[in-house]
Amino acid sequence: MSTLDPNRVILTGENPFIRLSASDGAENSTDASFWRILMCPTGPGHVLYIKSELTEGAWRIYSDNIAMARWLQTTVQGMLNSETRCPVRQVRRSGLLLDRARRV
């Protein structure tokens, strides 16, 4: 018998995902997964997982709540893409996350 409770909420929030490529069927030039979490076991926050030519093809993670980003890595995001288990860079909560991430 499973101990999984399908009625238990583990997080609330948003997760827009974008993939860019030069043409249909071509390899992705950019993969980006942005999370805006309102509630999870490690608190609210924002995290951007991005892999592109701008990151030299490596996954980069930017977050204003490192504990939340790590929790996502071991749960939902980790199930979606195990390659995103890499160091997290701290960004300030004020302003747009993407603007801050570019400056880090």
Q: Report helix, strand or coil for 104.
A: coil
The confidence band for 63, taking pLDDT boundaries of 50, 70 and 90, is very high
Nearest CA-CA partner of 60 in 27, 26, 97, 22 = 97
| pLDDT of 78 above 90 | no
Q: Which residue has the tokens 């993407």?
A: 98
| C-alpha pair distances (Å), 100 with each of 12, 94, 104 | 24, 9, 7
pLDDT tens string 21-52: 999 999 999 999 999 999 999 999 999 999 99
Q: What are phi and psi of 63, to 5 degrees?
A: -150, 150
Neighbours of 55 (CB within 10 A): 11
